[in-house]
Structure formats: C-alpha cells, structure tokens
Amino acid sequence: MYSTKIVKAENSSAAVQAIGSSKEGKILAGGMTLIPTLKQRLANPDCLIDISGCGLEGVEDKGSSVRIGAMTKHAAVAESSLVAKAIPALADLAGGIGDRQVRNRGTLGGSVANNDPAACYPSAVMALDGTVHTNKRDISADDFFKGMFETALEEDEVIEAVSFKKPEKACYMKFPNPASRYAMVGVFVAKFSDGVRVAVTGAGEEGVFRHSDLESALSSNFSEEAVSGVEVSSDGLMSDIHASADYRANLIGEMTKRAVSS
C-alpha cells in the first residue's frame, strides 16, 4: 500500500472534521474492504480516520425497534441475546457474514456505508424498514441506498447507528458465492402487521433492492405458493462468471420460498 496518515477520532464530529481537512480522507471502520483495497494500491487516500474510539458500539432495545451502533462488530450482533430475541433473523445474518476473522473485525456501519452489491447487511436494513442515523440526520432505508456502492451519505456525514424495526417474523436466506461466500443471492423477508417487505442483495445491478411483486404477493398470502405465483424477472440482475441473471432470478424465488417457510 501507499503510505498514508491515520487519525484516531474521539467522536463522530471530530471524524467529520478530519475528513473535511483532508484532501481525500477515508473513514476506517472495520477495514474489511478498505484495507485489502489499499494493499492492492487501488486507492491512495491521504488520510484514514479511525472511528473505533468514537463510542459507536452497542445494541439497544428501543421498544418497537433495535438500535445498533455503527461500529458494532458482526460477531457482537450474532452473539447478542437482545438481537436474538428481538430479531433472530438479524443475528443469523450477522453470524453468516464472511468467516470468524471477518466477523470479529467487520462492522455494521462499514458494511452499510460501503453498500457492496453482494453484502448481506443492506438487505436487512431495507427489509426491516431500517433507519440510518448519521451525525446530521436520520435517513430511511428506502432513501439511503442509491445503487451499487452508492448511498445518500454526504461528504461530511458519518453513520452513528442503524435502527431495525422489529418484525412479527423474519428470515434471511443467503445463497453464497462458492468462492467468496458473499451473497450471490440473499433474500431478507420481514413480515410486519401492515405488510411484508422483501429485500434482495447480491443480485441487482444497482445493489440491494426491494422486490415489489414478491412483497405484494406475500402481503396478501404469506406462503410458498404465493412465491411460486410470482414470475421473478431477470431484468436488471447481475451476470458474471459465477451466475447468470436467469439463474439469479431463479435463486431469488427459491431463497424467498425458503425464507417464508422457515
């Protein structure tokens, strides 16, 4: 990697300030994507702002939702008894990201801010009608994700926490890419009293998305048969050496069925 400067921020406003005073500073959360990129010399930021000391870790029960600090590690979410009780599907999702080493370094905020089209967490934020809390504002999930690797975050904005609404029932089904074990297709189904939300990751060319046909079918009839009745289109789905858009479309249907029947 190229040499760079590391600044340890004490709170999120200090982090934002450090970003502002750098030319091309980057926030360093868990570093699970950023550090390998730097090692490959594919980015050359003049400054890394380490936010591990900003007090952004922890899980809180907020009644109708669960609020998780941005720097909370995947392993902590996976092992949290609070999450396991309130939204077990979220704990499952966190426990299935990467490997043990990644889960002990990687963070919720890092994953959400990066918005990798094959990351697991964005689907949970989307399906659980989440809210992204930044140092400036609260952003609803539907407004937050703006396409592959793009979010509503502005230059002077840092994610502090994400809130997830407690569903009546939810399940995340991941079909992992056999090599990377990222989601080749991941479907998060969440049933609320006022309807069902279905978010798909790993498949869309624009990153995570809600599948409205599946949502309306499941909202009126929460069953595998309802899923079978939906023709999942391959339009807008990714094709790569691992899976064609057609195959991904098939997997969306299959993973949804499994999520519904689990």
Q: What is the total count of residues that contact other proteins (CB under 8 A)?
A: 40
Q: Is 101 in the site for other proteins (CB under 8 A)?
A: no
Q: Rounded to an integer, what distance in angstroms lies between the CA atom of residue 125 and that of residue 159?
A: 13
Asked if 199 and 144 touch (Cβ cutoff 8 Å), the reply is no
Site for other proteins in 6-25 (CB under 8 A): 24
Binding range to other proteins, per CB under 8 A, among 37-45, 62-70, 162-170, 186-194: 37-45
Interface map 230-249 toward other proteins (x if CB under 8 A): --------xxxxxxx--x--
Q: Rounded to an integer, what distance in angstroms lies between the CA atom of residue 75 and that of residue 96?
A: 9
Binder among 75, 118, 190, 218 for other proteins (CB under 8 A): 118
CB of 128 to other proteins, least distance (A): 24
Considering beta carbons, is residue 213 or 254 the nearer one to other proteins?
Answer: 254
Q: Rounded to an integer, what distance in angstroms lies between the CA atom of residue 129 and that of residue 188?
A: 11
Site for other proteins in 204-223 (CB under 8 A): 205-206
Own/partner pairs, 166-169, CB within 8 angstroms, 24+ separation: 166/64, 166/65, 166/66, 166/86, 166/87, 167/87, 167/89, 167/128, 167/191, 167/192, 168/192, 168/193
Q: Using CB under 8 A as the criterion, which residues of the chain lie in contact with other proteins when the complex forms?
A: 1-3, 24, 26, 33-34, 37, 40-45, 114, 116-118, 147-149, 175, 177-180, 182, 205-206, 238-244, 247, 250-251, 254
